[in-house]
Amino acid sequence: MATMRLLLFCALCSAGIHLISSLTDPNDASVLQTLKVSWKNTPPSWDKSSDPCGFPWEGVQCTGARVTSLRLSSMGLKGELSSYIEGLTELNSLDLSFNPGLDGSLPPQLGDLQKLNILILAGCSFVGPIPEELGNLEQLTFL
């Protein structure tokens, strides 16, 4: 019985340590959780962890604790691109291509992603004008 208590105590402590030492920047994790809620058909790995960099989410690449790339081409995503995307301030690549279920207008906040150099939206169902704020993306080399 004492061994069982010790094992349970160790398991709880290690779980607590994991929660305390989450690898993903809290702001980045919050933005990804918002995207997860606003989209349908996210990859199954997105439901297995709340730490996209520590327990990698499919299509999410990190450098250290920061999300630097979202490569979600042909995932069957449905929904709208949230304006909260602007919170991924270290994002340099965003590929949402060939997700025809992604619709609505493109949020002007995409123009706030100052490190973005790749933006791929082909094969989606976005409507309306291209936000003029995309002109603010001085690092953008591929659109």
Please state whether 76 falls in left (phi above 0), alpha (psi between -120 and 50) or beta: left
Per-residue model confidence as pLDDT tens for the chain (143 residues): 544 444 444 444 444 444 445 699 999 999 999 999 999 999 999 999 999 999 999 999 999 999 999 999 999 999 999 999 999 999 999 999 999 999 999 999 999 999 999 999 999 999 999 999 999 999 999 98
| Residue closest to 72 by CA, chosen among 48, 50, 91 | 91
Q: In what order do the strands lie in the sheet with 118-120?
A: 60-63, 66-71, 93-95, 118-120
Contact assessment for residue 71 and residue 95, using Cβ atoms and an 8 Å cutoff: yes
Domain extent listing, the chain: 23-136
Contact assessment for residue 116 and residue 134, using Cβ atoms and an 8 Å cutoff: no
Tokens (6 digits) for 46: 């997105």
CATH fold label, 23-136: 3.80.10
Rg, C-alpha atoms of the chain? 18
d(CA 60, CA 36): 12
Q: What is the pLDDT of residue 31?
A: 96
Single pTM value for the model:
0.83
